[in-house]
Amino acid sequence: MTGARKRVGVLISGRGSNLQALLDASVDPQFPAEIALVISNRAGAYGLERARAAGVATTTISHKDYPDRDSFDGAIDAALRGAGCEIVCLAGFMRIFTPGFVNRWPNRILNIHPSLLPSFTGLHVQRRAIEAGATIAGCTVHIVTPDLDSGPILAQAAVPVLPDDTEDSLSARILEQEHRLYPAALAWLAEGRVRIDGNRALVNGASASGVLLSPCP
């Protein structure tokens, strides 16, 4: 790797297992990104402890302290810019940003969602996949746009839905793939390999939306 590593801000609300995957990847000096700041909207989020253990700066910005979404988003934006962040990663951040915030970080916000988008947006996606009779599930890393769980798909990983799966068992199997997929997708973006063409994400000129890091057996 040549050049300075990109500075990344990670936003969390809970335990931060995907944050841990990013922290672990960034330990390698050849990884093209470093975690510069972790922000939580909940003071008790365990992910803050993960960040502190890794020597990463943390801050809590509670949405309850702000009268509206615009002012809350403004505080998040100021903290990210104050830390010199160039990329934002959402890792279980349970707030929806205003279009104004998203537009201030064009093609620089990543999110990981535990389904194969565009199927099963929103919450409780594993339960809904099982109830729908899906035979394949998985996770998606996408560029964040003002539309919820939308935006160009950067990478996906698939897992089978087994006959005896529960919401918990399927979630656990998908989470393993999230931990592999998110650092890979962040590396592509940090290396400047990603180009957005309409609603498609291209990596070195080839569509990455079909990447399956865990093919079904």
Contacts 24+ apart (CB under 8 A), 189-192: 189/6, 189/87, 189/108, 189/110, 189/154, 190/5, 190/6, 190/8, 190/32, 190/33, 190/87, 191/1, 191/32
Q: In which region does residue 116 sit, left (phi positive, over 0), alpha (psi from -120 to 50) or beta (all else)?
A: beta
| Residue type at 93 in one-letter notation | F
Beta strands in 51-198 (DSSP E): 57-60, 87-90, 109-113, 136-143, 153-160, 194-197
* 113 labelled catalytic: yes
How far, CA to CA in Å, does 106 sit from each of 47, 58, 73, 102? 26, 24, 15, 6
CA 111, CA 89: separation in Å to the nearest integer?
Answer: 6
| Active-site residue, selected from the candidate residues 113, 124, 142, 179 | 113
Query: Which secondary structure element, helix H or strand E, spans residue 38, and what is its range?
Result: strand 33-40
The DSSP code for 57 is E
Q: What SS3 class is residue 36?
A: strand
Q: Which residues are catalytic?
A: 113
